[in-house]
Amino acid sequence: MPARHEIDALRRARERLDLYPLAIHVNYLINLASLDPVIREKSIDGFRGELECAAAIGAEYLVTHPGSYKGQPMEQAIAAFALGVAEAASGCAPSGVTVLLENTAGSGFHIGCRLEELRLIRDLVGRETDLKAGYCLDTCHLLASGCNIATESGLRKTVNDAERTLGLENVKVIHANDSKMPLGSHADRHASIGEGHIGAEGFRRILTHAKLRDKAFILETPVEEEGDDRRNVEMLKKLAQPKRAPTLSEKPVNRSGASKRSVS
């Protein structure tokens, strides 16, 4: 848990820089879907600590992966996750914090690569707890799980599917990551914006989509060299701007030097 002076410093920084909303991510070792007694106990304790931390620092969102169903049917693991959240939140359910279920690439035995799985988990969490719950969609994970958000038609289908299955009003955060691996690979390998299989034009369409423009986009790209994070943020800001129509002086010219759009 952060110290009081650290919490106060964060609050002042958020007010000064208008950093709203604030989303934090739970420890990646937490697996509330596990039935292993040791892993489960530590995961529940860890998740409770993350809930308390989110409430203490005033975070609006707490992002979590649904976990792994290894060694059991997926339906049983989904139920185990919801019950684990309920146990972790018992007696400490923080007001003002919404738990966000993040979609996965579907590698190994990970739950949550299908939108229907996320919807079922949220429904169960709502039934078993008083916690508010929503979704965090990760762009790399979407592509790797088989949602072709790199193309105009694929993005349209994915947004429509999310609207129908999840309710776009429940999608609070989007993790912005390009994908090193191709469509349907089920491999969780993040790449810098525009340098993977989604590409710059794919991200331009995502960032400027009418139904996604009000979402909070959070960068989650690899940092291999100093300044990579800042360069990726600047790339997102650039791609989020509507395309500007070229001026007359910028229009291509033909060999005679006249504008290709000029009329003789």
For the segment 192-222, what is each residue's pLDDT rounded down to a tens digit? 999 999 999 999 999 999 999 999 999 999 9
Q: Which residues contact 97 (CB under 8 A, 6 or more apart)?
A: 51, 54, 55, 59, 60, 61, 62, 131, 132
Please give the structure tokens belonging to residue 148. Answer: 């072709």
**pLDDT above 70 covers what percent of the chain?**
92
| pLDDT given for residue 243 in this prediction | 72
Judge whether 84 lies within some domain: yes
| pLDDT given for residue 260 in this prediction | 37
The whole model's pTM is what? 0.90
| pLDDT given for residue 71 in this prediction | 87
- E strand spans, 42-186: 61-64, 98-102, 132-138, 171-176, 178-179
Inform me whether the pLDDT recorded for 60 exceeds 50: yes
CATH number at residue 95: 3.20.20.150
Pairing of strands 178-179, 190-191: antiparallel
Report d(CA 49, CA 54) in Å as an integer. Answer: 9
Judge whether 261 lies within some domain: no
Report d(CA 220, CA 137) in Å as an integer. Answer: 12
Report d(CA 152, CA 203) in Å as an integer. Answer: 10
| pLDDT given for residue 254 in this prediction | 53
3-state helix, strand, coil in the chain (%, to 5): 45, 15, 45
* pLDDT tens, position by position, 2-31: 899 999 999 999 999 998 899 999 999 999
Q: Which residues contact 247 (CB under 8 A, 6 or more apart)?
A: none
Q: How many CA atoms lie within 13 A of 183 on its CB side?
A: 11
Pairing of strands 61-64, 98-102: parallel
| pLDDT given for residue 258 in this prediction | 40
| pLDDT band per the 50, 70, 90 thresholds, residue 183 | very high
DSSP 183: T
Q: How many domains does the chain have?
A: 1
DSSP 242: P
Judge whether 220 lies within some domain: yes
Judge whether 257 lies within some domain: no
Judge whether 264 lies within some domain: no
Higher pLDDT, residue 8 or 246: 8
Report d(CA 12, CA 57) in Å as an integer. Answer: 11
* pLDDT tens, position by position, 129-162: 999 999 999 999 999 999 999 999 999 999 999 9
Higher pLDDT, residue 94 or 230: 230
| pLDDT given for residue 248 in this prediction | 58
* pLDDT tens, position by position, 84-126: 999 999 988 677 899 999 999 999 999 999 999 999 999 999 9
Inform me whether the pLDDT recorded for 257 exceeds 50: no
Q: Is the separation of the CB atoms in 93 and 129 below 8 Å?
A: yes
| pLDDT band per the 50, 70, 90 thresholds, residue 34 | very high
Judge whether 85 lies within some domain: yes
| pLDDT given for residue 95 in this prediction | 78
Judge whether 39 lies within some domain: yes
Inform me whether the pLDDT recorded for 262 exceeds 60: no
Report d(CA 227, CA 190) in Å as an integer. Answer: 17
Read off the amino acid at residue 186: H
Judge whether 224 lies within some domain: yes
What domain range includes position 166?
4-250
